[in-house]
């Protein structure tokens, strides 16, 4: 089969043999697979992976073959895949913290993933979805499931003011989730003004351009002293530092963006103590994928307004460039092209 293989140095489309499926696995004909910031970091050497491996962890497709012990799934089912495979046997799994599994392996990172014509997936990681769902939207279920866990960690209460720092794809997902909560104000901080209209349409009460406005003053003014909840969706120490300044006394900072591993952030412990702050983060998507599927298939979350650019597998380099240069909000590889 044709597949985009990361060999430890670079990514190229190759012919990759396909093994036989095990009794508890299914063979999927991939329809679409999203290009994620993590894919770009892996190829750049800034995020861990287990090469040689086919990348792509945000995907959906049609089941071609099921292992003989598989129940609840059949040939021709359309499924989205949760790529994170936990062992169920380590001390973290046994306490329900499957995202912290000591033997965690992810499709598209450690095991061959979705930038390929076909992918072999454990049946338990497949979520059946109606065939009418747009495959590009089904490919967004994985990032939505991660955003859902971050949203849970934010513990939004009625009347809270929320600041979302970063209005890219992840910030937009977070905004759509926060909009369903009883928050009072939702403010998004985003420099790219081309994105402001969509952010407002998706429920932002206010979108602030940090290159034009004094964000801190505006937030303190609108929220009377800071937001109860600030969710950082950029992925840099500088963005975390700014986000911290927007939190009200007694408030909560959620670090959702993935900062480079070598960046640090200086903070005075006394300030955290005196303001009684909660600082938390969000890693992967423990037990949130089913909820993400429900929100999409019931129309509670709509991706119809998200600008998604699709590329065939052979143009994966171009697709990566599209994502790196932020030429569209989301980039997908369409295996049907
Ligand atoms: Zn991802
Ligand atoms: Zn485990």
306-to-193, 253, 311 alpha-carbon distances in Å? 15, 27, 16
Closest CA to 163 of 187, 131, 180: 187
pLDDT the model gives residue 277: 98
- Whole-number Å distance, alpha carbon 251 to ligand 1 midpoint, is 28
- Ranges of residues in the chain whose predicted pLDDT is under 50: none
69-to-20, 22, 65, 125, 128 alpha-carbon distances in Å? 14, 9, 12, 14, 17
Residue 295 lies in a domain: no
CATH number assigned to the domain comprising residue 192: 3.40.50.720
Question: At 11, is the secondary structure helix, strand, or coil?
Answer: strand
pLDDT tens profile 149-205: 999 999 999 999 999 999 999 999 999 999 999 999 999 999 999 999 999 999 999
Total structural domains in the chain? 2
Run of H or E including 218? helix 215-223
Residue 29 lies in a domain: yes
Do 179 and 90 belong to one domain? no
- Whole-number Å distance, alpha carbon 261 to ligand 1 midpoint, is 16
Closest CA to 89 of 79, 98, 76: 98
What lies within 8 Å, CB to CB, of 132 at 6+ separation is none
State phi, psi for 128 to the nearest 5 degrees. -70, 135
CATH number assigned to the domain comprising residue 27: 3.90.180.10
Residue 245 lies in a domain: yes
User: Taking a C-beta distance cutoff of 8 angstroms, is the pair 76, 63 a contact?
Assistant: yes
The residues whose Cβ lies within 5 A of ligand 1, an ion, are 36, 38
Residue 262 lies in a domain: yes
Q: By CB neighbour count within 10 A (0-12 exposed, 13-18 middle, 19+ buried), where does 269 fall?
A: exposed
In terms of residues, how long is the chain? 337
pLDDT the model gives residue 184: 95
Q: What distance in Å separates the CA atoms of residue 327 and residue 314, rounded to the nearest whole number?
A: 19
User: Taking a C-beta distance cutoff of 8 angstroms, is the pair 318, 100 a contact?
Assistant: no
- Give me the domain span that covers residue 240: 147-281
Ligand closest to Cα of 41 equals: 1
Question: In the Cβ-directed half-sphere of 150, how many Cα atoms lie within 13 Å?
Answer: 31
Do 166 and 254 belong to one domain? yes
Ligand closest to Cα of 330 equals: 1
Residue 301 lies in a domain: no
Closest CA to 207 of 232, 174, 225, 185: 185
Do 35 and 134 belong to one domain? yes
Residue 76 lies in a domain: yes
ipTM confidence score: 0.97
- Whole-number Å distance, alpha carbon 271 to ligand 1 midpoint, is 33
- Whole-number Å distance, alpha carbon 215 to ligand 2 midpoint, is 42
- Whole-number Å distance, alpha carbon 95 to ligand 2 midpoint, is 9
User: Taking a C-beta distance cutoff of 8 angstroms, is the pair 56, 43 a contact?
Assistant: no
289 torsion bin: left (phi>0), alpha (psi -120 to 50), beta (else): alpha
């Amino acid at each position: 089969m044709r597949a985009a293989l990361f060999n430890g140095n670079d990514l190229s489309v190759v012919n990759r043999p396909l093994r036989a499926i095990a009794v508890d696995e299914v063979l999927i004909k991939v329809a679409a697979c999203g290009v994620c910031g993590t894919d770009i970091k892996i190829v750049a050497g800034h995020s861990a992976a287990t090469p040689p491996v086919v990348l792509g962890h945000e995907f959906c497709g049609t089941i071609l073959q099921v292992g003989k012990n598989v129940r609840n799934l059949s040939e021709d089912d359309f499924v989205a895949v949760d790529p994170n495979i936990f062992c169920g046997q380590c001390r973290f799994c046994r306490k329900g913290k499957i995202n912290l599994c000591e033997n965690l392996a992810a499709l598209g990172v450690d095991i061959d993933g979705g930038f390929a014509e076909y992918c072999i997936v454990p049946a338990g990681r497949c979520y059946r979805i109606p065939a009418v769902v747009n495959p590009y939207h089904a490919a967004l279920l994985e990032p939505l499931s991660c955003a859902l866990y971050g949203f849970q960690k934010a513990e939004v209460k009625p009347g809270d003011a929320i600041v979302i720092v970063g209005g890219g794809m992840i910030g937009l997902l977070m905004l759509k989730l926060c909009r369903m909560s009883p928050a009072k104000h939702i403010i998004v901080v985003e420099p790219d003004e081309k994105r402001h209209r969509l952010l407002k349409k998706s429920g932002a009460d206010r979108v602030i351009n940090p290159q034009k406005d004094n964000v801190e003053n505006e937030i303190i003014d609108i929220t009377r002293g800071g937001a109860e909840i600030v969710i950082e969706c950029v992925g840099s120490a500088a963005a975390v530092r700014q986000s911290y300044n927007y939190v009200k006394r007694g408030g909560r900072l959620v670090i959702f963006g993935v900062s480079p591993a070598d960046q640090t952030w200086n903070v005075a412990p006394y300030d955290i103590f005196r303001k009684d702050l909660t600082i938390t983060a969000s890693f992967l998507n423990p037990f949130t994928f089913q909820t993400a599927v429900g929100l999409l298939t019931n129309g509670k979350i709509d991706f119809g307004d998200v600008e998604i650019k699709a590329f065939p597998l052979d143009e994966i380099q171009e697709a990566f460039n599209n994502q790196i240069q932020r030429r569209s909000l989301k980039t997908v590889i369409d295996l049907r092209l």
